[in-house]
Structure 1
Amino acid sequence: MDQWLKQKKALWMLAIVFLLWMGSGCDAHSGKEDKGSASSQKGEASEVIRIGYQKYGTLNMLKARGNLEKRLKKLGYTVQWSLFPGGPQLLEAMNAGSLDFGHTGEAPPVFAQAAGTPLLYVATTPPNPAAEAILVPKNSPIRTIADLKGKKVALNKGSNVHYLLVQALEKAGLKLSDIQPVYLPPADARAAFEQGSVDAWVIWDPFLADAEVNGGARILMDAKGLPKQYGFIVGRNGYVKQYADVAKTVIAQLNKVHQEIHSSPDEAAKLLAKETKIGEEIWKRTLSRRGYGVFPLTKEVVDAQQRIADRFYEAGVIPKRVKVEDAVVVIKGQ
């Protein structure tokens, strides 16, 4: 009987030791998966930052250079890049929680705020009024914005050119309801434009430059002379607040790329042509008409963005008013 009790006691001891060992193993594993413990994993590149980019923005140049990956690896991160046809699609992904950072024009964040997307304005880029335009075929009888009345106009809904179209129509005494908007992403819009399925196309570079050179297009009107439209680096609210070190690194590296492009545009055109499969001459034209630099948001920028948001609401394009200032974040040391 004593022998049996000793054996039973030994088995219980072994079971306890095994359970303790399993518990410590599970704790170690959960530490690796903990999103909040990135600083303890420096050099292991175990955290992932998800960045959305477009063919137009300079994030594609940052991706091609590979410098951001090197910098963030030291902080314990890897970078996952995702290409989007436009800002609205990029911010839809952010709203779904599958994106942490991105670069868009002025209109997409307004639409996203109105839809409840948890975004933050992190930094701004200069206006590029010559880099977006309303196009018509070269031989089109359309000569003025007023001639667009009743016509089919293709655009990417909620993109920067949406505001261009609203403003252009207003200057000509028209409203969106006076034309037939056809909402298409850039590739589909170009096909419709070249096939004659639409009468005009509102688009941005490098698609604009390509359509001018290779698509038989004529500029009816660009954004010069209209209220300033800035570009924005945006981030997912919870991510930016938790990982300010990442946000600061992204902004610094992107600003560096801006300066490199500005000082060596021909070299940048070569690299971008390789990265995007869009011709080098198209990129030279694109880079010649854009501004450079990445800056903190000033009151002037926020006020300009607020005017755009108010105009969209007044035109009935977004369902509710948005307050831009509510989504602005200041990154210390930016």
Structure 2
Amino acid sequence: MKRALALALTGVATASLAACSLDGQTSSADTVRVVVGYQSKTINTVTAGTLLRAKGFLEKRLSDIGNSSGVSYQVEWQDYDTGAPITAQMVAEKIDIGSMGDYPLLINGSKTQAGERSRTELVSVTGYSPSGSLNMVVVPPGSPARTIADLQGQKISASVGSAGHGTLVRALDNAGIDPKNGVEVLNQQPQVGASALESGQVQALSQFVAWPGLLAFQGKATLIYDGAEGNYPTFHGVVVRRDYAGSHPEVLDAFLQAQLDATDYLNQHPLESANLVAEGSGLPPEVVYLYNGPGGTSFDATLKPSLVQALAGDVPYLQSIGEFAPLDVPGFVNADPLKKAFADRGQDYDVALRRTANPSALQGRDPVCNVAVTDPALAAELWVDGKDATQPAANPDCLLRAVRKVTADGGTVRAAYVPDSEFGTRWLADKSFWVRDGERHLPFDTAAGAGRYTAAHPGAVEVDYQQALAGAV
């Protein structure tokens, strides 16, 4: 029913575009067109893309404006695999608003700044990770590689200039490997890289969400490097052409208000949001929920100083690959439209700006261990097939007991999520590397993480998932 309403709203707002002018702005004096570029499979942009479109929030906001002004609005959604083609279309003045990752955002600002009508500015964040856990490196199942250092001399697939590529360069640098000469990077789109990994054409793949989680969920890859190991913030955000925003400030305001609507909806209804995003992107709901669920990506639209600072810190990487002309990063960031959107909602932008906790956290009562779920660093979650809601677990051992109970009762587990014991990254329990330390079982999303723990804790031993299930008490 909700999906039908969203489609109906979209249909009304996008009623024929045939008469629209080629510049993507207006088709007549009383009709305004807005073209939105988004990435349906890039999970951290859903509040400005897939979920926003599915819920019809933008069309509803524009319809309300039109009802009072007599102006009609037409929204065209354009879906892409990465940020690069969105930037190309913004340079050509054919996309008005777009969302993408941090490295592509910088490239967007750099490439569009030459033209007065194409020049863009960063106006909001969609999702972020303060530690950088949104980007990861995976290898084929059974690969002997356990760390980034083991990839020296190997072929690695990445989308050059993407957030996933930036994470790879940082990881290689930290491991003492020359990113240009120590490995061979194949510049490939995510889906091409996924096929190359499966066929053996490459020995590793470095990408942004949701590709690492998707391949791990499908049993086609094993996580070898969690971006959180680099401890450098990463995020996705929204850019708008300044010329378009200047001509149609009410459209930008409606977009930001709609993004805030989508952000609130996702944080309040994460499972429903995951199902909508899965429907709109073609990704498995279990993979979407890995990132969009409680304790996953932080969905917060504010332009936090730590993220802007990290953005400026990304500039040397872009210059090193020859993709970047000088850009005034502080001048590229404009929080004023978002501040206005907050004020119009009666909300304090500065208060939200200072908030650092993930807006969506697991809570409730663990039905197996019969205790309250209080510690985000330990809280886990179980999604049982046929259930309309997920089940919280106070800690990894409680989750293991819950999985064991469901299986014993003849049920089926759709997915079980646990926080990595080293960095806190939300990951799949059955794809984690487990350690038994006394009576506790600790999950790690990489073999290297488990190895670091056992090396520092005599008596702790690595166990597989089935052993952890059997041993949980």
> Normalising by structure 1, what TM-score?
0.82
SS of match in other structure, 2:34: strand
- For the 8 Å contact 1:131–1:208, the answer to whether it is kept is no
Please list, as runs of the form range in 1=range in 2, the aligned pairs for 1:208-287 lying within 5 A after superposition: 208-225=212-229, 226-287=231-292
Separation of aligned partners in 2, 1:278 and 1:300: 31
- For the 8 Å contact 1:155–1:186, the answer to whether it is kept is yes
Separation of aligned partners in 2, 1:279 and 1:223: 22
Separation of aligned partners in 2, 1:101 and 1:79: 11
2:299 matched residue in structure 1: 292
Q: Which has the larger radius of gyration?
A: 1
AA aligned to 1:103 is S
Q: Is the counterpart of residue 153 in structure 1 residue 156 in structure 2?
A: yes
1:72 matched residue in structure 2: 62
1:323 matched residue in structure 2: 328
Q: Is the counterpart of residue 120 in structure 1 residue 121 in structure 2?
A: yes
Separation of aligned partners in 2, 1:301 and 1:113: 16
SS of match in other structure, 1:176: coil
Deviation at 1:157, TM superposition (A): 1.6
Q: Is the counterpart of residue 179 in structure 1 residue 164 in structure 2?
A: no
Deviation at 1:204, TM superposition (A): 2.1
Deviation at 1:257, TM superposition (A): 0.9
Unaligned runs of 5+ in 1: 1-28
- For the 8 Å contact 1:50–1:98, the answer to whether it is kept is yes
- For the 8 Å contact 1:88–1:157, the answer to whether it is kept is no
Q: Is the counterpart of residue 168 in structure 1 residue 163 in structure 2?
A: no
Distance 1:267 1:214, change over 3 A: same
CA RMSD across the alignment:
2.4
Distance 1:116 1:302, change over 3 A: same
Distance 1:181 1:277, change over 3 A: same
Q: Is the counterpart of residue 103 in structure 1 residue 99 in structure 2?
A: yes
Range with greater deviation from structure 2 (100-109 or 216-225)? 216-225
Deviation at 1:298, TM superposition (A): 4.4
SS of match in other structure, 2:234: coil
- For the 8 Å contact 1:150–1:180, the answer to whether it is kept is yes
Deviation at 1:319, TM superposition (A): 4.7
SS of match in other structure, 1:318: coil
Q: What are the superposed Cα offsets for residues 128-164 of structure 1, whole Å, 9 maximum, x if unpaired?
A: 3333200111211111111221111111121111211
AA aligned to 1:119 is T
SS of match in other structure, 1:142: coil
Separation of aligned partners in 1, 2:290 and 2:203: 25
AA aligned to 1:124 is V
2:318 matched residue in structure 1: 312
Deviation at 1:308, TM superposition (A): 0.8
Q: Which has the higher helix share?
A: 1
Separation of aligned partners in 1, 2:105 and 2:275: 31
Matched-pair identity in %: 24
AA aligned to 1:173 is G
AA aligned to 2:120 is L
Separation of aligned partners in 2, 1:203 and 1:316: 17
AA aligned to 2:301 is V
2:462 matched residue in structure 1: none
Q: What are the superposed Cα offsets for residues 287-327 of structure 1, whole Å, 9 maximum, x if unpaired?
A: 132111212x34433222111113432x3443543221232
AA aligned to 1:68 is L
Distance 1:300 1:37, change over 3 A: farther
AA aligned to 1:239 is Y
SS of match in other structure, 1:175: coil
Deviation at 1:176, TM superposition (A): 1.6
Please list, as runs of the form range in 1=range in 2, the aligned pairs for 1:2-17 lying within 5 A after superposition: none
AA aligned to 2:237 is F
Separation of aligned partners in 2, 1:245 and 1:37: 17
1:63 matched residue in structure 2: 53
Number of residue-to-residue matches in the alignment: 297
Deviation at 1:280, TM superposition (A): 1.5
Distance 1:285 1:126, change over 3 A: closer
Deviation at 1:208, TM superposition (A): 2.1
